[in-house]
């Protein structure tokens, strides 16, 4: 089994983004990402700090807007509107989850599609569906990069995605389909889940349940991408895949942490650079 090193591959992606940022700077374009965090969820705070570090590495200016947990939906929407109108801001990222009193869908819909570097807006989701997109959702795009790093071609392969969320499962399936994979999406109502997974040449687990994928669900030599990030009772982080057991069967496997997580942030940097290019009429 070969380990897929997300830290190493994400570093290469960030270096590419840094080179592009430097080139834009020479053309008089400063790249800026605005990050909004509401409340003090510890996981969200870690993500935001990691995003700020990545921005610093890539030469992207990051603006943080930390709002109290009791912020109203109207106050948050007013801030989004202000950032939409600010020509110096290229990307807007509202860290999810949001407190209960705020409707996430309304907030996502309020971000202008050309500044939606998470690619959650319905316009960007629709563009991904038809294959004519500006931005790719960060986690699925990172997963594709990890699969590519193995040298295994997606074309013609049996691909199984476990999970149907709007953030990972559905867009992941579309990206695999655009690359000519034969895709099955599995979820909590899927019958014969183990049998379906065992047919996969490429298996992507995005279900949010610790150690959900066991060795008997994995085809010998398969590429296994673990999107899960779960915390066990002892405080240890683990993915959706039983790493120890599956590592004896899989051909390639991502670790948790150090697999998909760093790729998500690296792709966000790429999207922010692309947003700056689009807004300034700069072609690739």
Q: Is residue 250 part of a domain?
A: yes
Q: Are residues 147 and 227 in the same domain?
A: yes
> How sure is the predictor about 42, in pLDDT bands with cuts at 50, 70 and 90?
confident
DSSP type of residue 116 = B
| Same domain, yes or no: 66 and 166 | no
Tell me how many domains the chain contains. Answer: 2
Query: For residue 43, which phi and psi values (nearest 5 degrees)?
Result: -65, -40
Whether 150 and 249 map to the same domain: the answer is yes
Tokens encoding 206: 């995005």
Q: Is the dihedral of CA 178, 31, 12, 138 positive or negative?
A: negative
* Domain range for 244: 138-260
Contact 29/276 with Cβ under 8 angstroms?
yes
Query: Is residue 158 situated within a structural domain?
Result: yes
Check whether 281 has a pLDDT greater than 90: yes
Q: Mean pLDDT over all residues of the chain?
A: 96
On whether both 154 and 252 belong to a single domain, the answer is yes
What are the residues whose beta carbons fall under 8 Å from the beta carbon of 133, sequence distance 6 or more?
A: 119, 124, 127
DSSP for 119-134, written as a single string: --SHHHHHHHHHT--S
Which of 112, 129, 153 terminates a domain? The answer is 112
Confidence of residue 270 (pLDDT cuts 50, 70, 90): very high
45 domain-assigned: yes
Q: Distance of alpha carbon 94 from its chain centroid, rounded?
A: 14
* Residues 67 and 159 reside in one and the same domain: no
Q: Determine phi and psi for 260, rounding to 5 degrees.
A: -70, -35
Active site residue 23: no
Give CA–CA dist 121/123, Å, rounded.
5
Do residues 152 and 76 share a domain? no
Looking at the domain assignment, is residue 4 inside a domain?
no
Q: Which of 118, 134, 201, 240 is catalytic?
A: 118
Q: How much is the average pLDDT of 253-281? A: 97
- Residue 234, domain member (yes or no): yes
Based on the fold, state whether residues 249 and 145 are members of the same structural domain.
yes
Per DSSP, the three-state class of 5 is coil
User: Mind listing the pLDDT tens digit for each residue in 193-242?
Assistant: 999 999 999 999 999 999 999 999 999 999 999 999 998 889 889 999 99
4 SS3 class? coil
DSSP code string of 151-210: T---TT-EEEEE---TTTHHHHHHHHHHTT-EEEEE-TT-SSHHHHHHT-SEEEE-S--T
Which conformational region is residue 11 in: left (phi greater than 0), alpha (psi within -120 to 50 degrees), or beta? alpha
For the question of residue 118 being annotated catalytic, the response is yes
User: Is 95 in the same domain as 169?
Assistant: no
Mean pLDDT along residues 2-18: 98
Give pLDDT, residue 43. Answer: 85
Residues 6+ apart with CB under 8 A from 225: 4, 143, 146, 147, 202, 203, 204, 205, 254, 259, 260
CATH number reported for the structural domain that contains residue 73 in this entry: 3.40.50.10860
The DSSP output letter for 225 is E
User: Which helix (H) or strand (E) element contains residue 37?
Assistant: strand 32-38
CATH code for the domain in which residue 176 is found:
3.40.50.720
On whether both 156 and 243 belong to a single domain, the answer is yes
**Residue 279 is inside which H or E element, if any?**
helix 260-279
- 157/256 same-domain check: yes
In this structure, is residue 7 part of a structural domain?
Answer: no
Task: With a cut of 80, say whether residue 153 has pLDDT above it.
Answer: yes
Say if residue 284's pLDDT is above 80.
Answer: no
Say whether both 90 and 176 belong to one domain.
no
**pLDDT for position 246:** 98
Backbone angles phi, psi at 147, to 5 degrees: -65, -45
Among residues 95, 201, 274, 277, which one is catalytic? 95
90 with 150, same domain: the answer is: no
pLDDT recorded at residue 218: 98
Question: In this structure, is residue 64 part of a structural domain?
Answer: yes
Structural domain includes residue 118: no
Percent of the chain having pLDDT more than 90? 94
């Amino acid at each position: 089994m070969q380990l897929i090193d997300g830290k190493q591959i994400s570093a290469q992606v960030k270096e590419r983004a840094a080179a592009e940022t430097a080139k834009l700077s020479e053309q008089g374009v400063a790249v800026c990402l605005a990050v909004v965090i509401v409340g003090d969820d510890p996981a969200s705070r870690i993500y935001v700090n990691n995003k700020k570090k990545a921005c610093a590495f890539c030469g992207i200016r990051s603006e943080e807007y930390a709002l109290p947990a009791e912020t109203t939906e109207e106050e948050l929407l007013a801030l989004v509107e202000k950032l939409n109108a600010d020509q110096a801001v290229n990307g807007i990222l509202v860290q999810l989850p949001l407190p209960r009193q705020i409707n996430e869908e309304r907030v996502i819909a309020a971000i202008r599609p050309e500044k939606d570097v998470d690619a959650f807006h319905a316009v960007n989701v629709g563009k991904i569906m038809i294959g004519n997109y500006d931005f790719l959702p960060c986690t699925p795009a990172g997963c594709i990069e990890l699969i590519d790093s193995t040298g295994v071609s997606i074309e013609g392969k049996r691909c199984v995605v476990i999970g149907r969320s709007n953030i990972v499962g559905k867009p992941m399936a579309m990206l695999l389909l655009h690359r000519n994979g034969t895709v099955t999406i599995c979820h909590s109502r899927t019958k014969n889940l183990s049998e379906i997974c065992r047919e996969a040449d490429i298996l992507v687990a995005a279900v949010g349940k610790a150690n959900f994928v066991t060795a008997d669900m994995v085809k010998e030599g398969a590429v296994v991408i673990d999107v899960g990030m779960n915390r066990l009772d002892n405080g240890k982080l683990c993915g959706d895949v039983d790493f120890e057991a599956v590592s004896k069967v899989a051909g390639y496997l991502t670790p948790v942490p150090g697999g998909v997580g760093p790729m998500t942030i690296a792709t966000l940097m790429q999207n922010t650079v692309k947003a700056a290019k689009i807004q300034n009429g700069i072609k690739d």
